[in-house]
Structure 1
Amino acid sequence: MIMENVQITRPLPRSLPEAQGITSAAISAFLQHMEEQQSGLHSFMLLRHGAVVAEGWWSPYRPELPHSLFSLSKSFTSTAIGLAVAEGLLKVEDKVVSFFPEDAPAVISPNLAIMDISHLLIMGTGHTEDTTPYMVDSKDGNWVKAFLQLPVGKAPGTHFLYNTGATYMLSAILQKVSGLTLLEYLEPRLFVPLGIRNPTWESCPRGINKGGFGLSVSTEDIAAFGQLYLQQGVWNNQRLLPKEWIAAATSKQIGNNDGSPGAVSSDWSQGYGYQFWRCRHNAYRGDGAFGQFCIVMPEQDAVVAITSGNSDMQSIINGVWNILLPAMSMEAKVIESDPAAHAELSLILEQLSIQPELVQKTSALEAVLNGKVYRLGENSHKLEAFMVSFDAEKAVLTLQGMYGEQTVMLGRGEWAESSANILDHKKNLIMSCFTWTAENKLKITMLCVETPFCLTLEVEVHESSIAVKQQFNVSMSADDLEAEFVGHLA
Structure 2
Amino acid sequence: MHSLMLVRHGHVVAEGWWAPYRAELPHTLNSVSKSVTALAVGIALDEGLFDLDDAVLDLLPDHAPAEPSARQRRLTVRHLLTMTRGCAEPDFDGVRSGAIADGVRFVLNEPLDHEPGERFVYSTGSTFLVSAIIQRLTGERLLDWVAPRLFEPLGITTREWDASADGVDFGGSGLHLRTEELALLGQLLLQRGSWNGRQLVDAAWIDEATSWHVETMAVPSDPGAPLGDWELGYGFQFWQTSHGACRADGAFGQFIVALPELDAVIVTTAGLDDMAAVLDAVWQHLLPGFDTPGIGGATSTAVAAGGVDAQARLRAQLAALTLPPQHGASSSPAAARLLGRRVEVEAGPAGLRALRIDADETGGWTMTIETETRTETLRIGSGAWAENPESALAGSLTQGGAPTPAAASAAWIGDSWLLRIHLTATPQTLTARLAVADDGTVRIGAWMHGWFGAHELATLVGRPA
TM-score, normalising length: structure 2: 0.91
Task: Letter of the 1:241 partner, please give it.
Answer: V
Residue pair 1:474, 1:481 contacting (<8 A) in 2 also: no
Unaligned runs of 5+ in 1: 1-40
Q: For residue 341 of structure 2, what is the aligned residue in structure 1?
A: 372
Q: Is 1:473 paired with 2:424?
A: no
| Aligned mate of 2:230, from 265, 268, 271 | 268
Deviations 1:300-347 (A, max 9, x none): 111100001112122211221223223324997334212343233223
- What number of residue pairs does the alignment pair up? 448
In the alignment, the residues of structure 2 paired with residue 44 and residue 403 of structure 1 have an alpha-carbon distance, to the nearest angstrom, of 38
- Judging changes above 3 Å, is the alpha-carbon distance between structure 1 residues 330 and 378 closer, same or farther for their aligned structure 2 residues? closer
Q: What's the % identity of the aligned pairs?
A: 35
Residue pair 1:97, 1:113 contacting (<8 A) in 2 also: yes
Q: Is 1:67 paired with 2:27?
A: yes
Task: Letter of the 2:367 partner, please give it.
Answer: L
Residue pair 1:138, 1:146 contacting (<8 A) in 2 also: no
Q: For residue 298 of structure 2, what is the aligned residue in structure 1?
A: 334
How is 1:240-251 mapped onto 2 (pairs within 5 angstroms)?
Answer: 240-251=200-211
Q: Is 1:181 paired with 2:145?
A: no
Secondary structure class of the residue paired with 2:234 = coil
CA RMSD of aligned residues (A): 2.1
Q: Is 1:172 paired with 2:132?
A: yes
Flag the structure with more relative contact order, 1 or 2, with Cα contacts below 8 A and sequence separation at least 6: 1
In the alignment, the residues of structure 2 paired with residue 455 and residue 131 of structure 1 have an alpha-carbon distance, to the nearest angstrom, of 25
TM-score, normalising length: structure 1: 0.87
| Aligned mate of 1:350, from 300, 319, 324 | 319
- Judging changes above 3 Å, is the alpha-carbon distance between structure 1 residues 151 and 448 closer, same or farther for their aligned structure 2 residues? same
Shift of 1:49: 1.1
Task: Letter of the 1:113 partner, please give it.
Answer: R
Q: Is 1:389 paired with 2:358?
A: yes
How is 1:298-313 mapped onto 2 (pairs within 5 angstroms)?
Answer: 298-313=260-275
| Aligned mate of 1:416, from 349, 367, 386 | 386
Shift of 1:101: 2.0
In the alignment, the residues of structure 2 paired with residue 457 and residue 309 of structure 1 have an alpha-carbon distance, to the nearest angstrom, of 17
Q: Is 1:297 paired with 2:259?
A: yes
Shift of 1:131: 3.3
Task: Letter of the 1:398 partner, please give it.
Answer: T
Residue pair 2:346, 2:460 contacting (<8 A) in 1 also: yes
- Judging changes above 3 Å, is the alpha-carbon distance between structure 1 residues 412 and 182 closer, same or farther for their aligned structure 2 residues? same
Secondary structure class of the residue paired with 2:115 = coil
Task: Letter of the 2:114 partner, please give it.
Answer: K
Q: For residue 430 of structure 1, what is the aligned residue in structure 2?
A: 406
Secondary structure class of the residue paired with 2:243 = helix
- Judging changes above 3 Å, is the alpha-carbon distance between structure 1 residues 388 and 359 closer, same or farther for their aligned structure 2 residues? same
Q: For residue 192 of structure 1, what is the aligned residue in structure 2?
A: 152
In the alignment, the residues of structure 1 paired with residue 155 and residue 345 of structure 2 have an alpha-carbon distance, to the nearest angstrom, of 47
| Aligned mate of 1:125, from 66, 70, 85 | 85
| Aligned mate of 1:398, from 358, 368, 377 | 368
Task: Letter of the 2:234 partner, please give it.
Answer: Y
Shift of 1:480: 3.2
Shift of 1:238: 1.4
Residue pair 2:98, 2:165 contacting (<8 A) in 1 also: no
Residue pair 2:16, 2:318 contacting (<8 A) in 1 also: yes
Q: For residue 239 of structure 2, what is the aligned residue in structure 1?
A: 277
Task: Letter of the 1:333 partner, please give it.
Answer: G
In the alignment, the residues of structure 2 paired with residue 319 and residue 480 of structure 1 have an alpha-carbon distance, to the nearest angstrom, of 25
- Judging changes above 3 Å, is the alpha-carbon distance between structure 1 residues 403 and 111 closer, same or farther for their aligned structure 2 residues? farther
In the alignment, the residues of structure 1 paired with residue 272 and residue 162 of structure 2 have an alpha-carbon distance, to the nearest angstrom, of 22
Q: For residue 212 of structure 1, what is the aligned residue in structure 2?
A: 172
- Of stretches 164-173 and 384-393 in structure 1, the one that deviates more from structure 2 is 384-393
- Of stretches 414-423 and 116-125 in structure 1, the one that deviates more from structure 2 is 414-423
| Aligned mate of 2:193, from 233, 252, 274 | 233
In the alignment, the residues of structure 2 paired with residue 51 and residue 403 of structure 1 have an alpha-carbon distance, to the nearest angstrom, of 48
